[in-house]
Amino acid sequence: MSTLSRADVANLARLARIEMTDQELDDLSSEMDVILSAVARVQEVATSDVKPTSHPLPLRNVVRGDVVTPSLSPEAALSGAPASEEQRFRVPQILGEEA
């Protein structure tokens, strides 16, 4: 059973893009320990001979035909945007790789 340090939680918060106060990180790391020790029980029965189920339905090959259907109007598409300009979503500067 693993425990989560404050730094571990901080890294998870970074991956999940959630800013967290020191207090929150502390609270969460202790809560995570409690929850993880409870959920780690799954390992007791998850032996190698059991196949994982990722979906309750036995469906296969559900597809749609290559048919164009109406899009939203740009006004509707942008209607919820916190900011827009030139019919585009306006977002703060992107720091990161050039795509």
Partner 1 sequence: MSLTYEEVILKYEPVLGLEVHVELNTKSKMFCGCATEFGAEPNTQTCPVCLGMPGALPVVNQKAIESSILIGLALHCSVTPFSRFSRKNYFYPDMPKNFQISQYDEPICVNGYVDVEIETEEGPKQFRVEIERVHMEEDTGKSLHVGGATGRIHGADYSLLDFNRAGIPLVEIVTKIVPGTGKYAPEVAKAYVAELRDILRSLGVSDVRMEQGSLRCDANVSLRLIGAETLGTRSETKNVNSLRSVERAVRGEMIRHAELLNRGERVVQETRHFQEDTGLTRSGRSKEQAEDYRYFPEPDLVPVEPDAAWVEILRVSLPEQPTLRRKRLQEEWSVPDKEMAAMINADALDIVEATVEFGADPTRARGWWLGEISRIANEKDVSIAELAITPVDVAEIVALVARGELTDKLARQVVEGVIAGEGKPSHVMETRGLKVVSDESALMAAIENAIAAQPETAEKVRSGHIPAAGALIGAVMKETKGQADAARVRELLLAHLGQ
Partner 2 sequence: MITRSAHEMATALEAGDTTSEKLTQEHLDRIAAVDGDVHAFLYVDTEGALSQARGVDARRQSGEKVGPLAGVPLALKDVMVQHGVPTTAGSKILEGWRPPYDATVVAKLKQAGIVILGKTNMDEFAMGSSTENSAYGPTHNPWDLSRIPGGSGGGSSASLAAFEAPLAIGTDTGGSIRQPAAVTGTVGVKPTYGGVSRYGLIAFSSSLDQAGPCARTVLDAALLHEVIAGHDARDATSIDAPVPQVVKAAREGNVKGMKIGVVKELNGDGYQAGVRSRFEESLELLANEGAEIVEVSCPNFEYALAAYYLIAPSECSSNLARFDAMRYGLRVGDADGASAESVMNFTREVGFGREVKRRIILGTYALSSGYYDAYYGSAQKVRTLIMDDFKRAFNSADVLVSPTCPTTAFKIGEKANDPLAMYLNDIATIPVNMAGIGGMSLPCGLAPEDGLPVGFQIMAPAMQDQRMYSAAAALEASLLTKWGAPLLSQIPALGGSK
Name which of partner 2, partner 1, none residue 7 binds, using a CB cut-off of 5 to 8 Å depending on partner kind. Answer: none
| CB 39, min distance to partner 1, A | 16
Residues 25 and 6: beta-carbon distance below 8 Å: yes
Q: Count of CB atoms within 10 A of residue 18's CB?
A: 10
CA–CA gap between residue 88 and residue 2 (Å, rounded): 45
Q: Cβ of residue 44: shortest distance to partner 1, in angstroms?
A: 22
Our CB check for partner 1 shows the closer of 39 and 63 to be: 63
Query: In whole angstroms, how close is the CB of 96 to partner 2 at the nearest point?
Result: 7
